[in-house]
């Protein structure tokens, strides 16, 4: 609980950056979503790419085991997207992960755009998943921002050199990673069980 309180304090101390990152990350998804509504063909192309790439077959094969499905979702969100795409690049090049995150969230919004009645019904449970998972990425992006700011401008954190500033930024990133991971874990299981049990009820499948 003490670590969670520190995370809240870190967000409060950097409220402006936190709000900006919320606007940028959610905005990227919303722009993609709006683009998909205006140009359904783009959404269809994304869906076809998803099917041809084998991801759709993988998802269908996991629907019989929601626990395993949840672990696959968690691995994709926490390891591939959060760690490999957002955090690690920013530990090498300041803020690089944030740029990549914004870029990759646009096609997510594009794929979310409903093309029929079933698509709108699926959004009822799935919209909560999207909101909370992106909030996890916002927390990590804030940590990445604080790391990059400390690294480039050590004096802003009272450090004597870049090594100390980098270590300070990593500690702040670590503090924010805990609630981010908690969100990803909880909503990986929520997403899995809602897809397996709730979505079929909504669409009558």
Q: In the prediction, which pLDDT does 108 show?
A: 92
Q: Is the pLDDT of residue 205 over 60?
A: no
pTM above 0.85, yes or no: yes
Yes or no: say if 164 and 204 are a contact pair by the CB < 8 Å rule. Answer: no
Q: In the prediction, which pLDDT does 1 show?
A: 72
Sign of CA pseudo-dihedral 191, 192, 198, 199: positive
Q: Which of 190, 194, 88 is nearest to 132 (CA)?
A: 190
What whole-number distance in Å separates Cα of residue 128 and Cα of residue 170?
30
Structure confidence at residue 2 as a pLDDT band (50, 70, 90)? confident
Yes or no: say if 21 and 86 are a contact pair by the CB < 8 Å rule. Answer: no
pLDDT, average across residues 67-93: 95
Torsions phi, psi for 141 (to 5 deg): -65, -35
- Nearest-5° Cα angle at 142, 176 to 1: 20
The pLDDT tens digits of the residues spanning 135-194 come to: 999 999 999 999 999 999 999 898 889 999 999 999 999 999 999 999 999 999 999 999
Q: Is the pLDDT of residue 52 over 80?
A: no
Q: What is the DSSP string of 89-100?
A: HHHHSTTHHHHH
pLDDT, average across residues 31-51: 86
Q: In the prediction, which pLDDT does 42 show?
A: 87
Find how far residue 197's CA is from the centre of its chain: 23
The pLDDT tens digits of the residues spanning 87-117 come to: 999 999 999 999 999 999 999 999 999 988 8
Q: Would you state the structure tokens that stand for residue 115, as one six-digit string?
A: 């093309």
């Amino acid at each position: 609980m003490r670590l969670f309180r520190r995370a809240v304090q870190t967000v409060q101390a950097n409220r402006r950056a936190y709000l900006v990152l919320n606007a940028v990350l959610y905005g990227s998804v919303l722009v993609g979503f709006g683009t998909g509504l205006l140009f359904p063909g783009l959404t269809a192309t994304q869906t076809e790419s998803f099917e041809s790439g084998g991801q759709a077959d993988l998802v269908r094969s996991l629907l019989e085991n929601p626990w395993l499905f949840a672990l696959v979702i968690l691995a994709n969100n926490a390891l591939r997207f959060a760690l490999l795409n957002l955090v690690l690049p920013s530990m090498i090049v300041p803020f690089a992960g944030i740029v990549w995150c914004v870029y990759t969230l646009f096609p997510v919004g594009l794929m979310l755009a409903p093309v029929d009645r079933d698509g709108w019904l699926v959004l009822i449970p799935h919209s909560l998943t999207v909101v909370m998972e992106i909030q996890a990425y916002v927390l990590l992006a804030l940590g990445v921002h604080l790391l990059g700011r400390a690294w480039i401008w050590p004096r802003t954190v009272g450090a004597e050199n870049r090594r100390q500033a980098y270590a300070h930024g990593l500690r702040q990133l670590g503090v924010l990673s805990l609630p981010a991971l908690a969100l990803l874990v909880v909503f990986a299981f929520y997403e899995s069980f809602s897809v397996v049990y709730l979505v079929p009820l909504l669409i009558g499948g």
